[in-house]
Amino acid sequence: MLRAHHELMSKYLAHTRPALGGSRRFLAAYIAMVAGAVALFLFIRRYGETLAAPAPAVIAATDIARDAPALAAPNALLHVLLALAAVVVAGRILGRLFRWIGQPPVVGEVIAGILLGPSLLGRIAPGAAAYVLPSSVAPSLGVVAQLGVMLYMFLVGLQLNAGLLRGRAHATVATSHASIVAPFVLGSLLALFLYPRLSTSAVPFTSFALFMGVAMSITAFPVLARILTDCGIAQTDLGVVALTCAAADDVTAWCLLAFVIGIAQAKVEGALAVVALAIGFIATMFLAVRPLAARLLARPGDRAPGREAIALALVCMLFAALATEWIGVHAIFGAFLFGVVIPHDSGLARILTERLEDLVVVLLLPAFFAFTGMRTRIDLVSGASAWLSCGLVILVATTGKFAGTFAAARLTGMDWRGAASLGILMNTRGLMELVVLNIGLDLGIISPALFTMMVLMAVATTVATTPMLGLVSPARVRYNRPF
């Protein structure tokens, strides 16, 4: 499959290189797009800095009052194991159900975590919810969840073909960045409406607007790959372009997120230091670590990597995560980046994926879904104005991704049906969005109410991908349902 994907991508790159590679007009348009986005954000920021948000003490008191009924958990290990068992079973059941109706199983697994939290089980059986997922177990479950997401992002990096992002397919990279720029600007604009209503005065508008822009720009590369495979279009031209755009999206969005975290966790001087250190770390990984890894893994011999090689890779991944955590960027970014620098077609990448994927996806990721479910409280979205804000979040996220992708794809020569299909596919958010949202909630950039709205947006946009793609390109979609 990887070979077929590479051959298709090579044909696509060969087709686009002569048409766009030396085009000064194309480069000028790209620079104008980025410069225009920066100018618009600065204009939005200038007005947003004049807005006032509620005092943090009011929201904090409300949250404490809502959390008061939760029971204590005297045995954290017992409750963590119980929570894991419950979310794994519920996730597998709902995953198969969603798979049968033409949805990626991960949607069912995410919803299972939400249903076991205060949004459903906490409403109909508060005693059972307090026993299965008590609030006092959140720190322990959070550690397991962070480990699961870190390993998952490491696997995502291992499967990412970074060679496809080296400026050879200008049209694809431009389309990908347009699918980031448009929702980023619209998300920043939406921040003007949301900041006085759903944020606090303790959060600077700049951090809030930057985070909203990044959160609106996410495309879930792993979930998109699964949807393309299930729809039978992973090895078509559309599938190859969509995967490449999503890969570029992931790399760019995580770099932007690193910048936002640096801004949020420090003052301007400290943020600049964080950004400089992050850039230095990225440069070291690609200019020093990646060539070294490629040279070591290219040594002749048919023997599969042993436990020592696997242990060394995992230790290096942990040190990369520690480095980005120390810098002031989330540890997940370091794990992801170390996965990227390991050649995706090497024996080490294959054996790490084979041995870790099932454990991470089946056991550890459900901890993240349960942890997210504990923090998702649909009861916080109450009243017409709150649901209007939630609908506006979904509308802005969908419109920005679709419009930016569609316009860039059309300008680079894609027909309208293919451009529309690509715009729909790039709206897939899924798990990657949840990772970003949990980071924002941990940093205090977004409130629990806005977190819930954004989780609903992530689920809604992912659920809509397959049916919308079937409407636009029914001949291309052949979803394989299990029986």
Residue 60's pLDDT band, with cuts at 50, 70 and 90, is: very low
46 part of a folded domain? no
Residue 72's pLDDT band, with cuts at 50, 70 and 90, is: very low
pLDDT at 77 over 80: yes
pLDDT at 76 over 70: yes
Mean pLDDT across 307-319: 92
Dihedral (CA of 235, 238, 243, 248) sign: positive
Listed residue (254, 356, 266) closest to 310, CA to CA: 356
pLDDT at 142 over 90: no
pLDDT of residue 124: 87
pLDDT of residue 301: 55
pLDDT of residue 393: 95
* 372 and 430 Cβ atoms separated by less than 8 Å: no
Residue 302's pLDDT band, with cuts at 50, 70 and 90, is: low
For residue 78, CA distances in Å to 45, 99, 116, 141, 152 come to 48, 31, 17, 11, 24
**pLDDT tens per residue across span 153-208:** 898 888 776 665 554 456 677 788 888 999 999 999 999 999 999 998 889 999 99
pLDDT at 264 over 70: yes
191 part of a folded domain? yes
**Domain containing residue 214: CATH number:** 1.20.1530.20
Q: How many domains does the chain have?
A: 1
The parent domain of residue 330 ranges over: 72-298+305-472
352 part of a folded domain? yes
Question: Which tops the pLDDT comparison, 83 or 254?
Answer: 83
**pLDDT tens per residue across span 119-137:** 888 888 888 888 887 877 8
* Mean pLDDT for the chain overall: 80
27 part of a folded domain? no
pLDDT of residue 162: 60
248 part of a folded domain? yes
pLDDT of residue 64: 36
Pairwise CA distance, residues 113 & 107, whole Å: 10
Candidate ranges 64-78, 126-140, 299-313, 427-441; pick with highest mean pLDDT: 427-441
* 477 and 456 Cβ atoms separated by less than 8 Å: no
165 part of a folded domain? yes
**pLDDT tens per residue across span 226-253:** 777 667 776 677 877 887 788 777 777 7
18 part of a folded domain? no
pLDDT of residue 475: 55
pLDDT of residue 299: 65
Portion of the chain with pLDDT greater than 70, in percent:
83
380 part of a folded domain? yes
